[in-house]
Amino acid sequence: MGPSLMSGWAVARPGPVTSAPLVRIERKIPTPGPRQLLLRVTTCGVCRTDLHLVEGDLAPRRPSIIPGHEIVGVVDQVGPATGLFSVGDRVGAAWLARSCATCRFCRAGKENLCLAPTFTGWDIDGGYAQYVVVDEAFVYPIPSGFDDLHAAPLLCAGIIGYRALLRSQLSEGGRLGIYGFGGSAHLTAQIALAQGARVHVMTRSAQARELALSLGASSVGDASDTPPEPLDAAILFAPVGDLVAPALQALDRGGTLAVAGIHLSDIPSLNYERHLFQERTLCSVTANTRDDGRAFLKLAGEINLKVAVDPYPWDRADDAIRALKEDRVRGAAVLVFD
């Protein structure tokens, strides 16, 4: 008989990372219900959304929630009425854990806008633990070209970045500006480059600027710098509302700025003529559909996406969150379980 208890991390009381809001916990291993899988977690990415949850920018949906939604694991048990996966399969679970399937948005193929969604590591316990229960219909097979360590960031950073790129309406061979260059941005930049774009990166991190150049960016600059040419599209990954105005101003006529994050600090006043006139567009990105996930993972395998990771033993999750807060992560931080 296997173990009955698992170890992990939970948000005890949201607050600054210096106040130790993440605490070690021990809980009973959950049991999968109908059409659910129990995964033994092997790796889990550390996403900026986790940081927002830990610090209280996103209010936890339940007490002592276990964060984590970039989960790679092995199917340990299958619940009743399952049939898509088998024990031993290697799979991934992402941010969207469940949609209602009946609201007007789900029926229109826009399940990312579902009126009653469930999110991994926010509504239900996530991957900062040795085991997690997931709905099999919202699980992805992991592309064979990625090991567990490098696959984890694909499951949110990659998928959300891909959707943000779609929302930016970047034309083939166009000029893309990227503001902030962490786990999601460094993957999105590679997709754009593979599609023939010129990519200009604006970020406050010298380490991130170095990574951007190594991946093929045409230019790098500080977060609020003006790129060397007008942009056809831009994506704001940094959760900094102050960057919206300079990003809009950097757009050429008809350009679009997509805001990729789930949280953004307040946007200062905009000047209509300088920031929005000439049919510039400002739009948001909200979660993802499963079709987004499938399309991105297929593309990631085809273009041999390079995933920069900064691995942490799972029992140092609090250190990983602090490193993310302090911009000390090169690429994406990933928790590695024994």
CATH of the domain at 236: 3.40.50.720
For residue 301, is it within any domain?
no
* Residue 289 domain-assigned (yes or no): no
Residue 73 and residue 137 in one domain: yes
Residues 205 and 116 reside in one and the same domain: no
| Residues 127, 9: Cα–Cα separation, whole Å | 9
Asked if residue 290 belongs to a domain, the reply is no
Whether 253 and 273 share a structural domain = yes
Q: How far apart are CA 332 and CA 188, in angstroms?
A: 13
Distance in angstroms (rounded) separating the CA atoms of residues 148 and 284: 30
Residue 40 and residue 117 in one domain: yes
> Do 84 and 222 share a structural domain?
no
8 Å CB contact between 9 and 302:
no
Q: What is the mean pLDDT of each run of 10 residues along the chain (338 residues)?
A: 87 94 97 98 96 95 96 98 96 98 98 98 98 98 96 97 98 96 95 97 94 97 96 97 98 98 95 97 97 97 95 97 93 93
72 shares its domain with 86: yes
What pLDDT score was predicted for residue 330?
Answer: 87
Based on the domain organization, do 137 and 40 belong to the same domain? yes
**231, 256 Cβ separation under 8 angstroms:** no
Q: What's residue 2's pLDDT?
A: 64
In a domain, 228, yes or no: yes
Tell me how far apart the alpha carbons of residues 119 and 102 are, in angstroms, rounded to a whole number: 17
Q: Are residues 236 and 179 located together in one domain of the fold? A: yes
Contact, 55 vs 14, CB < 8 A? yes
Return the residue matching tokens 């059409």.
Answer: 35
Q: What is the DSSP letter of 150?
A: H
With contact defined as beta carbons under 8 Å apart, do 306 and 150 qualify? Answer: no
> 275 and 244 in one domain?
yes
Answer yes or no: do 10 and 149 share one domain: yes
Domain count, the chain: 2
Give the residue numbers spanning the domain of 190: 159-284
pLDDT of 338: 78
Tokens of 153: 């960031």
pLDDT at 103: 98
Instruction: Determine the pLDDT at residue 173.
Output: 94
Residues 272 and 256 in one domain: yes
Does 294 reside within a domain? no
In terms of phi and psi (left: phi > 0; alpha: psi -120 to 50; beta: otherwise), the region of 136 is alpha
Statement to judge: residues 25 and 126 lie in one domain: yes
Confidence (pLDDT) at 140 = 98
Q: What is the DSSP string of 215-234?
A: HT-SEEE-TTPPPSS-EEEE
How buried is residue 87: exposed, middle or buried, by Cβ count under 10 Å (0-12/13-18/19+)?
exposed
Candidates 129, 54, 105, 27; CA nearest to 337 is 129
| Residue 21 belongs to some domain of the structure | yes
This prediction has a pTM of 0.94
Is residue 295, in this structure, part of any structural domain at all? Answer: no
Question: What per-residue confidence (pLDDT) applies to 169?
Answer: 98
